[in-house]
Structure 1
Amino acid sequence: MSRVVYLQAASGAAGDMFLAALIDAGMPFGMLEERLRRLALPHWSMRPRRVVRGAISATWLQVETIPEQVQRGLPEIRELICAADLGTAVESRALAMFEQLGHAEAGIHGVPLEKVHFHEVGAADAILDLVGAAVGIEWLDAAEITVSPINVGSGHADTAHGRLPIPAPATLALVTSAGAPIYSGDESIELLTPTGAVILTSIADRFGAIPAMRPTAYGYGAGSANLVIPNVLRVVIGNNLTASGTDSVVVLETNVDDASGEVLGFAAERCLAAGALDVWMVPIQMKKFRPGTALHVICQPEKAAEIENVIFTETGTLGIRRRSLERRILDRRVWTVETQFGSIRIKSAADANLISPEYEDVRRAALAHQRPIAEVMRAARQTAESTGENERHPAS
């Protein structure tokens, strides 16, 4: 069975609420803090606390930072994240969220993306929220994430741009671009922040009701305000109960003859960050015998439009072919083995004798112990093969 996640945003969402919900559901706080300490940010502290919001016991993440005079733009944030050795998946996810926010801000203020200066979102606490969210998404390792309709709040909020209507312009741009369903209750307060909006819209495979699942964990992440309704973001983690075997995917294809390998590689990275399931390139011969490259992308139907925009923007192609296909998939299991090089996650197919150590874990261990990656991979595989099924992590 595959792991599915449901996020219920009846009281909106913010970056710290998302992190608190995952911590409440079992994400190790020490692991999160260790990854965030790699960022070259001024003195900050983060502490999960137990609170009650509307009779619901929840985790509130208390984040304290020192005031900064610096205003960070996208180039500065890219440099900060890329220098932190966060791992490829976390780095790509965090950069994609900041770029998504940047596009929203650029459209609102009518300036080029690289000229956008983040205000609240460029502050240290917001950077911790979004990079932390990328770490949390990696920890979830979900096959599908569903987000409920989102309560955005109502009224006005005081921001660095002045007094703005709720939802804030950047928030509205993000939910509109993602096609996210929103509503407003009686609470005259901002419930969905730009950081909360970019997290939910970037990770949602679909919006709607809770999917059929067998719950294995849940958590409540508290907001700072006490409201009439419980001010919490709820996460439910479970195993998919729908029959495994097949699902529908979209294959996007385009031929390019005027882009360098570096440009195509960057386009592939952007596609993966946007949610592509797989990306590959094939050298081809085009008309007039020009050498070219065929770019292929597999994605979920809900992600096709967003990824098409990435391909158009990054490659300069004028056309993309789209095919809808059915694929057969095997249920996967994920568990952790302890090796002489540390903890390494293992993935295996439930219906086949296939075992694959998680590359990022193997890479990190090989660098930490200065051993060949093949040696670490072999040790992880041997340990996994000798591990009994009863010791493995539940199907996810």
Structure 2
Amino acid sequence: MSRVVYLQAASGAAGDMFLAALIDAGMPFGMLEERLRRLALPHWSMRPRRVVRGAISATWLQVETIPEQVQRGLPEIRELICAADLGTAVESRALAMFEQLGHAEAGIHGVPLEKVHFHEVGAADAILDLVGAAVGIEWLDAAEVTVSPINVGSGHADTAHGRLPIPAPATLALVTSAGAPIYSGDESIELLTPTGAVILTSIADRFGAIPAMRPTAYGYGAGSANLAIPNVLRVVIGNNLTASGTDSVVVLETNVDDASGEVLGFAAERCLAAGALDVWMVPIQMKKFRPGTALHVICQPEKAAEIENVIFTETGTLGIRRRSLERRILDRRVWTVETQFGSIRIKSAADANLISPEYEDVRRAALAHQRPIAEVMRAARQTAESTGENERHPAS
């Protein structure tokens, strides 16, 4: 059975709440702290403490940093992370989250991505939160993560940009881009921070109710404030109970005869960015013997409407066929191996002798070490095949 994770954000989320929830669920704090000490950040301390929030015992992560005058942009944060020897998977995840935040800020302020200057998010504690989240996501080793509808809070918050409405503009941009469901209760406070938003939206495979699972661990990560409701982020970790590894997908199809290869290629990229599971194109002969292209997209049902809008917008087609299908998928696992080229994630199917190194990790390692991609791929595969089963798949 594969490991699945459910994050219940009834009181929103922040970076420290996510880390605290994982520590409460069993993530070794020493492992987290050791990885974070590799960052060249000024003096900081981090300590988990037991607290009670709304009659629920939870872990609160007390993080203390020294005040900084420096304002970091994406290039400075990228340099800081890449110099820390965090491992390919953690480095890639952390950089991706900061780039997501950067795109959100760039859109809000109307500046190029590389010119964005992070304020709160560029501070040492926020860097610790996001890099720590990348470490935590690697520790979770989840095949699928579901996130509940998110309580964002209400009112206004004082920020480096002045007094802003809740959710903050960057937070709203992130949840909108991800299609995350949000709501607001009676709490006049910011419950979902930009760091919390980027963690939840980047880790989520889907949003909704708790999936069928056999729970094996759970944890509560506390926020700083005492509220009328328990101010905690809850994580539930368990084994997937989906029968026979089946799920439902939607197949979208359209025939196009008046779009260039560049337009169709861009449309395919947009579909993948919107959450498509797969995209492919087939040359066809259309009416009046005109050559055309059949565009096919596979996606989760909840992503279908968004991807249809992308297809309509980018291709100019006037109609899209939609089919709902069931598919059978093998139980998948993901783990990380250490090679001479760094950390590389490995995907495998538990019901078949299939091992596949993660392409993006292999590509980055090949570029970093100036080696042929086939050599890096071979090294990762050989390391994975020689790794013992217990080392590959930690007990869920």
What is the TM-score with the length of structure 1 in the denominator? Answer: 0.73
What is the CA-CA distance between 1:389 and the residue it aligns to?
8.0
What is the CA-CA distance between 1:48 and the residue it aligns to?
1.2
Q: Choose 180-189 or 119-128, whichever is displaced more.
A: 180-189
The superposition leaves residues 182-225 of structure 1 with CA deviations (integer Å, 9 ceiling, x where unpaired) of 22222121111111111111221221111111111100001111
Partner of 2:101, secondary structure, is: helix
- Aligned-pair identity (%): 99
- Alpha-carbon contact 1:88-1:360 (below 8 Å) kept: no
- Alpha-carbon contact 1:101-1:170 (below 8 Å) kept: yes
CA 1:107/1:339 → structure 2, altered by over 3 Å: closer, same or farther?
Answer: closer
Query: Can you give the 5+ residue segments of structure 1 that lack an aligned partner in the other structure?
Result: none
The superposition leaves residues 36-84 of structure 1 with CA deviations (integer Å, 9 ceiling, x where unpaired) of 2222211111111111111111111111111111111112112222222
- Alpha-carbon contact 2:88-2:361 (below 8 Å) kept: no
Matches within 5 A, 1:69-80: 69-80=69-80
CA 1:105/1:375 → structure 2, altered by over 3 Å: closer, same or farther?
Answer: closer
| Aligned-partner Cα distance in 2 for 1:371–1:65 | 40
- Alpha-carbon contact 1:96-1:273 (below 8 Å) kept: no
The superposition leaves residues 271-301 of structure 1 with CA deviations (integer Å, 9 ceiling, x where unpaired) of 9999787899999999999999999998756
What is the CA-CA distance between 1:377 and the residue it aligns to?
11
| Aligned-partner Cα distance in 1 for 2:364–2:115 | 35
| Aligned-partner Cα distance in 1 for 2:83–2:240 | 37
Q: Choose 292-301 or 167-176, whichever is displaced more.
A: 292-301
What is the CA-CA distance between 1:244 and the residue it aligns to?
3.0
| Aligned-partner Cα distance in 1 for 2:157–2:138 | 32
What is the CA-CA distance between 1:99 and the residue it aligns to?
1.6
- Alpha-carbon contact 1:250-1:322 (below 8 Å) kept: yes
What is the TM-score with the length of structure 2 in the denominator? Answer: 0.73
What is the CA-CA distance between 1:132 and the residue it aligns to?
1.1
Q: Choose 90-99 or 334-343, whichever is displaced more.
A: 334-343
The superposition leaves residues 283-323 of structure 1 with CA deviations (integer Å, 9 ceiling, x where unpaired) of 99999999999999987566789999999999999999999
- Residue 250 of structure 2 is matched in structure 1 by 250
- Alpha-carbon contact 2:24-2:58 (below 8 Å) kept: yes
| Aligned-partner Cα distance in 2 for 1:158–1:187 | 16
The superposition leaves residues 123-148 of structure 1 with CA deviations (integer Å, 9 ceiling, x where unpaired) of 01111111111111121121221111
| Aligned-partner Cα distance in 2 for 1:343–1:96 | 17
| Aligned-partner Cα distance in 2 for 1:383–1:220 | 36
- Alpha-carbon contact 1:3-1:395 (below 8 Å) kept: no
CA 1:143/1:390 → structure 2, altered by over 3 Å: closer, same or farther?
Answer: closer
CA 1:28/1:290 → structure 2, altered by over 3 Å: closer, same or farther?
Answer: farther
CA 1:177/1:386 → structure 2, altered by over 3 Å: closer, same or farther?
Answer: closer
Q: Choose 351-360 or 57-66, whichever is displaced more.
A: 351-360
Query: Can you give the 5+ residue segments of structure 2 that lack an aligned partner in the other structure?
Result: none
- Alpha-carbon contact 2:89-2:343 (below 8 Å) kept: no
What is the CA-CA distance between 1:329 and the residue it aligns to?
2.1
- Alpha-carbon contact 1:337-1:384 (below 8 Å) kept: yes
User: Runs of 4+ in structure 1 displaced over 4 angstroms?
Assistant: 248-327, 333-348, 353-396
CA 1:94/1:312 → structure 2, altered by over 3 Å: closer, same or farther?
Answer: farther
Partner of 1:244, secondary structure, is: helix
The superposition leaves residues 253-274 of structure 1 with CA deviations (integer Å, 9 ceiling, x where unpaired) of 9999999999999999999999
- The alignment of Structure 1 onto Structure 2 pairs a total of residues equal to 396
- Alpha-carbon contact 2:148-2:208 (below 8 Å) kept: yes
- Alpha-carbon contact 1:341-1:376 (below 8 Å) kept: yes
- Alpha-carbon contact 2:286-2:292 (below 8 Å) kept: yes
Q: Choose 301-310 or 234-243, whichever is displaced more.
A: 301-310
CA 1:338/1:125 → structure 2, altered by over 3 Å: closer, same or farther?
Answer: closer
| Aligned-partner Cα distance in 1 for 2:84–2:283 | 34
Matches within 5 A, 1:184-195: 184-195=184-195
CA 1:293/1:383 → structure 2, altered by over 3 Å: closer, same or farther?
Answer: same
- Alpha-carbon contact 1:330-1:349 (below 8 Å) kept: yes
